[in-house]
Amino acid sequence: MAGRLPIWLLAGFAALQPPLAHAQLHRGGELRLLTHAASGTIDPQINYEGAFWQVFSITYDGLVAFRKAAGPAGNELVPDLAEAIPAPQDGGRTYRFRLRQGVRFSDGREVGVEDVAASFRRIFRVSSPTSGSFYGGIVGADACLKQPTDCTLAGGVAVDAARREITFHLAAPDPEFLLKLGLPHAAVLPADAPPLDVGVTPLPGTGPYRITRYDPQTALRLERNPFFREWSKAAQPEGYPDAIDYQFGLSAEAEVTEVENGQADGVLDTIPPDRLGEIGEAHAAQVHIQPELAISYLPMNTRIPPFNNLQARRAVAFAIDRAALVKLAGGPALAEPLCQILPPGLPGHEDYCPFTKSPGTHWSAPDLDRARELVRQSGTAGQRVTLITAATPAGRLMGEYLQELLRDIGYDAHVNSISNNIEFTYIQNTNNNVQISTSAWMEDYPAPSDFLRVLFGCASFHPSSDSSVNISGFCNQAIEAEMDQAMALAITDPDAANRLWAKVDRDITDLAPAAVLLVPHAVVLVSTRVGNFIYSDQFRWILSQAWVQ
Amino acid sequence: MAGAILRRLAQALFVMIGISIVVFLIFFATPGADPAARIAGRNASPQTLEQVRHEFGFDRPLPVQYALMMRRLFVTQDLTSFVNRGQRVVPTVMAAAPVTLSLVVGAAVIWVLGGIALGVAAALTRGTIIDRTLMALGMVGIAAPAFWVAEMMNLLTQSRLHDTWLFRWVPPLGYTKLSVDPGGWALHLVIPWCTLAILYIGLYGRVLRNSLIEAYREPYIRTARAKGLSETRILLRHALRTALVGFVSLFGLDFGALVGGGAVLTEVIFGLPGVGKLTVDALQNLDLPFIMATVMYAAIFVVLANAAVDILYAVLDPRVRHAE
Amino acid sequence: MRRIWRDKAALLAALVLAALLVACAAAPLYARLVSGTDPFRSNITGTIMLDGHATQVLQPSPGGLQLGVTPIGPSWHAQYLLGADGLGRDLAARLLYGGRTSLLIAGAATLCCLALATLLGIVAGYFGGIVDAILARLLDLLWAFPVFLLAISLSIVLISGGLQLGPLHIEADSLALPVSVIAVIFIPYVARPIRGQVITLQRSEFVLAAIGIGAPSWRILARDIMPHVATTLAVFAPLVMALNLLTESALSFLSIGVQPPAASWGTIIQDGQELLYTRPLVALAPGLAIVLVVVALNTLGDAFRDALDPQARLRGRG
């Protein structure tokens, strides 16, 4: 009897229909993804690879999460397993959360405060790579770092089961603590999760999907978590595909061909340069390009000749033709020049480029004359310089170009390519006396300190160690003081802190411990049937939101 | 006979132990190969590094580490990868073995039959344009870079000509098990078989041609002709048998190397998860457990193949047999 | 000997080989006079005049999203005759320069390999017994050796300025490195067939006869066994040359021997890997050059062998 119903009721119904129908319409199907190899363990508290963080973002949850949205909104924190994001108390040393009720793990058990506390202890028990760098500020963490097996975090994490409250006590104020809680290393796992790297055995999680199969040689499969009920669309929305299938083992060329043929839904590897033109012309609607919060740069060793000389370093920064490097990367759609440490889009970024023909905010052209003059003045002309790059086709191209450049400004330059998977640790170890190398850094979380303090802070320099991310060996006390000041300021006045970080960025850039080259863009190729492509800076393509039908 | 077999086995064991020690030494002598930092993760604190080093036993003396690794590889068989933690080495290699076997055996059938046909044809038409052309074509197959041939095959069959009647039947790259889907298994492997065989047909044809020409010079061939045997019989029963000695030597070497994981480029480019792919991944990741396992796996086949070849010498050439 | 020159195919092969060698030797002349480009300098942002239009050497993709750059293809003119590589360098000029390095490395490696392999193969096959057992196992070890692991390890060790082997100091760009590595890894490939051949030859009638009349070992080796082994070598030489040329590619990738910006056919093949779908010629051209060399050597080898061996007639006529 629709004719007898009041118009306003019908109108109301009509207004409601689209979102529900939308969701129903696109729900279902299997998303088939291709990537050349697995990325290590599926233990969310140990794995530190972006490729698997993408998986963990839809299989696990922390107390807070980064909003699953594109653009700047995707860098904001929203409450996830916690009911709300607390204001820091006690001068930034105490954070009190209230746990949401009714959330279940993929094995059916309800999440309780004891699970949260146990998960934080587990970070130390399994020797997570960030246990020291990110979570070392929690009271009791020192003891845990020394003796991981007996970790209690006493005084650091307190729970109240009756009020469903978890309280964190930090040894010193940390304005970035909340950001770190949004990372997979801080995922909430069942209290009885084994205190060791689970390797290939998935742990139960709270996300809309659970890992059902993992064979690092062939495949990874995610299926719906039967116990998931959406509690926050911003933090962890319900997923559209019924299952997500990763197939390992194909080369990037083969992957592109399969997606073009419609035999798979997405390529998660870097597109080979000789296919870019093809996909840009014939499959333009299936290509998604996004600048990353990452930099490609050349760390220079500030402790051994010739780059222990400031003028020599600045010469290199002036000489590099970033436009040529952009071209080598595949054109302006795939990279953009950058002179400073912080990439655009990161809080604290203020355009700054001193190393160009007319210094100002943006790079325009290299200044070879100035570079040669600086080399001459520095007295390092003619010295032997060896550039280390990774033995990948792109690495070799960049390496040969840079070798030529270094020769042009007056050095006896040589280039050496090392197997890709050990290049990163090789260039960090001071025993190898690496003068200059190629490297890249991607954000862990959207904060300036993740670039400036991690890459150029004194605490990140460990001589004779394979793990010394401050590859340049840069340690400047004045700048350290500025960074400490910015960290402290961030608790009370984030905007002022960001301005101070921008100043730190300029100061470090001027001292050129590294020559920054470009901001890379991520290129994702999907099949024609994939819709609703959302790319977040933090977790890349949000797979749970893809439509496959 | 039994004594000879036992002796060969002991020698084989010696080769395998030798290789494993060499791999171990090379790995630890390489600056930057220390796996602790790569296992611990990016920017790990010195304490975390120490934990990892202790957990994996990298702080123990090399001979102890070697013995432990050998024990975990062969006795308890629970050796796991350094890169993909929890992935057990032995089951993974065992799962990859049939893939490589399928690829290599199939290709071997093609190149052996093709090589024999090529060699016989060239030897019979020796000195003519046919001989020269056949040999030249064969050389092209050998000299063309393997990855170029494989990628071009992919370019044509998967990409450019995929929708034509010629290659519509070619399935997406990958491997299906023989036990699961024999038709699919074969379809997936046809192009890889041909690609791998192209690289070897010319070589084997050439070698056989040469050996045949040599064999025809032997006095016993003249005797056979004098006895009135037909040319075909002379070819098949007499000349070919001695000529195959050289052919078989090479085949033992190539087959042994390929089955042990030598067809790396073919496996990688065609997306076949075989031992060759495991080997190259292990090397690029400097994943010592997998390097050790794949190298020893390859060594087994090299030794076995060469032993089989030595036995075949006796079968093919009666003079060797009788002289023993 | 005169019979070689009557063999037309052999003559052609010799001419082709000679032309190639001369062209490679004249690489600097080509670069300076013909192509007018420096084949060792990148030309990423440069332009050249083609058919009256200024075209970029690394062309951005037209239309669509303008993703990617493609080096220009063959111009069939003096400049960029065969096109450019990924850094905008003249492929033809680099091919000629590369030929010098590759032929030198592969040639030297082939000679060493054949010499050592012949020695090992003959000694193992002729003397048999425990000598054979030891040598055959050594060959097995060599064949199963993880060469790529050694290459990766070597490439890293070499970075810090060379390798110290006792009194010997080897620089990273020393060509002795790739020559020795390549020569050694292919020794079993030649040694085992030779060993097999010697084992069967030992039992052949003329050898038994020679032993019967009391001829000394060296005489038997020189007069009865070597000629047959020589024909096998003539077959293997071009093959080993081909394999060496290709193996050199893998080693150059790890900066062993040939250092950037120097070129070898191997480095050009590697450069071409990234351009297969748009400019397959970059990887193909060195491959074709290798094929040319190998086919020519093959034909020459055959002719040589036939010329030295007048009694080899196949079909029993005469």
Task: Check pLDDT > 50 for residue B108.
Answer: yes
C-alpha B107/C-alpha B116 separation (Å) is 14
Smallest CA-to-CA distance from A113 within A149, A166, A65 is with: A166
DSSP B203-232: HHHHHHHHHHHHHHTSHHHHHHHHTT--HH
Chain C closest-CA separation from residue B180 CA (Å): 33
A16 — pLDDT class (breaks 50, 70, 90): low
Measured CA to CA in angstroms, residue A219 lies from A246, A398, B273, C134, C185 at distances of 5, 33, 11, 45, 36
Q: How far apart are the first and last CA of chain B?
A: 11
Q: Is there a contact between C283 and B145 if contact means CB atoms under 8 Å apart? A: yes
Express each pLDDT in C197-218 by its tens digit.
888 887 777 777 777 787 777 7
A172 vs B226: which has the higher pLDDT: A172
For C138-142, what is the mean pLDDT? 88
Express each pLDDT in B244-302 by its tens digit.
888 888 898 899 889 988 888 899 999 999 999 999 899 888 899 999 999 999 988 88
Mean pLDDT of chain C: 84
Identify the pLDDT of residue C166: 72
Question: A164: helix, coil or strand?
Answer: coil
For C106-131, what is the mean pLDDT? 92
- Is the Cβ of B281 closer than 8 Å to some Cβ of chain A? yes
Share of chain A above pLDDT 70, in %: 96
Q: What is the ipTM of this complex?
A: 0.86
Express each pLDDT in B136-190 by its tens digit.
888 888 878 888 888 888 888 888 888 888 888 888 888 988 888 899 999 999 9
Q: Which residues contact A72 (CB under 8 A, 6 or more apart)?
A: A345
For C105-118, what is the mean pLDDT? 94
Question: A234: helix, coil or strand?
Answer: coil
- Is the Cβ of B26 closer than 8 Å to some Cβ of chain A? no
Rounded to two decimals, the pTM is: 0.89
Q: Is there a contact between C200 and B217 if contact means CB atoms under 8 Å apart? A: no
- Is the Cβ of C267 closer than 8 Å to some Cβ of chain B? no
Boundaries of CATH 1.10.3720.10 in chain C? Answer: 91-317
C-alpha A405/C-alpha B106 separation (Å) is 50
Contact B77, B297 (CB under 8 A): no
- Is the Cβ of B154 closer than 8 Å to some Cβ of chain A? yes
Express each pLDDT in A483-498 by its tens digit.
999 999 998 899 999 9
| Ranges A50-64, B76-90, C226-240, most confident | A50-64
- Is the Cβ of B28 closer than 8 Å to some Cβ of chain C? no
Task: Check pLDDT > 80 for residue C304.
Answer: no
C165 vs B22: which has the higher pLDDT: B22
Task: Give A323's contacts in chain C (Cβ within 8 Å).
Answer: 45
Identify the pLDDT of residue C313: 40
Identify the pLDDT of residue B162: 84
Task: Check pLDDT > 50 for residue A522.
Answer: yes
C-alpha C310/C-alpha A145 separation (Å) is 83
In the 8-state DSSP scheme, what is residue B239? I
Which of B34, B48, B176 has the highest number of chain A CBs within 10 A, making it the mutation to test binding with A?
B48
Identify the pLDDT of residue C245: 87
Chain A closest-CA separation from residue C5 CA (Å): 46
- Is the Cβ of C5 closer than 8 Å to some Cβ of chain B? no
Task: Check pLDDT > 50 for residue C317.
Answer: no
A67 vs C310: which has the higher pLDDT: A67
Q: Is there a contact between A273 and C274 if contact means CB atoms under 8 Å apart? A: yes
Identify the pLDDT of residue C103: 92
C-alpha B144/C-alpha C283 separation (Å) is 10
Q: Which CATH number does C91-317 carry?
A: 1.10.3720.10
Q: Which of B123, B159, B245 is opposite residue C200, by nearest beta carbon?
A: B245
Identify the pLDDT of residue C201: 81
Q: Specify the amino acid at residue A168.
A: F
In the 8-state DSSP scheme, what is residue A186? G
Query: Nearest-CA residue of chain B relative to A143?
Result: B47
Q: Is there a contact between C193 and B225 if contact means CB atoms under 8 Å apart? A: no
Identify the pLDDT of residue B318: 65
A470 — pLDDT class (breaks 50, 70, 90): very high
Please list the alpha-helical segments (H only) found in chain B: 2-29, 36-40, 46-56, 62-70, 89-124, 129-143, 146-154, 182-216, 219-226, 231-233, 240-257, 264-269, 275-285, 288-316, 318-323
Measured CA to CA in angstroms, residue C212 lies from A178, C204, C207, C209, C215 at distances of 94, 12, 8, 5, 8
Q: Which of A7-21, A531-545, C65-79 has the lowest mean pLDDT?
A: A7-21
Identify the pLDDT of residue B249: 85
In the 8-state DSSP scheme, what is residue A203? P
Q: Is there a contact between C68 and A275 if contact means CB atoms under 8 Å apart? A: yes
Chain C closest-CA separation from residue B181 CA (Å): 32
Task: Check pLDDT > 90 for residue A125.
Answer: yes
Smallest CA-to-CA distance from B102 within B28, B19, B176, B165 is with: B176
Task: Check pLDDT > 70 for residue B321.
Answer: no
Question: Cis peptide leading into C261, omega within 30 of 0?
Answer: yes
C-alpha A216/C-alpha B261 separation (Å) is 19
Task: Give A264's contacts in chain B (Cβ within 8 Å).
Answer: 172
Query: Nearest-CA residue of chain C relative to A276?
Result: C68
Task: Tell me the two tokens of residue A29.
Answer: 């199907």
Q: Which residues contact A418 (CB under 8 A, 6 or more apart)?
A: A388, A389, A390, A391, A426, B32, C155, C156, C159
Identify the pLDDT of residue B226: 82
Q: Which of A130, A250, A466 is opposite residue B173, by nearest beta carbon?
A: A250
Q: Which of A132-136, A224-228, A541-545, B32-36 has the lowest mean pLDDT?
A: B32-36
C301 vs C311: which has the higher pLDDT: C301
Task: Check pLDDT > 70 for residue A1.
Answer: no
Identify the pLDDT of residue C314: 40
Other C-beta atoms within 10 Å of B145: how many? 25
Q: Which of B37, B48, B268 is opposite residue A131, by nearest beta carbon?
A: B48
Task: Check pLDDT > 70 for residue B69.
Answer: yes
Other C-beta atoms within 10 Å of C34: how many? 17
Express each pLDDT in A400-442 by its tens digit.
999 999 999 999 999 998 888 889 999 999 999 999 999 999 9
Express each pLDDT in C3-37 by its tens digit.
555 577 788 888 999 999 999 999 998 888 887 88
Q: Is there a contact between B152 and C188 if contact means CB atoms under 8 Å apart? A: no
Q: Is there a contact between C315 and B252 if contact means CB atoms under 8 Å apart? A: no
Q: Which of A56-60, A347-351, C302-306 has the lowest mean pLDDT?
A: C302-306
A30 — pLDDT class (breaks 50, 70, 90): very high
Task: Check pLDDT > 60 for residue A15.
Answer: no
Q: Which of C232, C239, C311 is opposite residue B203, by nearest beta carbon?
A: C239
Query: Considering only residues 158 to 217 of chain B, which have any Cβ-Cβ distance to chain C shorter than 8 Å?
Result: 159, 203, 206-207, 210, 213-214, 216-217
For B68-92, what is the mean pLDDT? 91
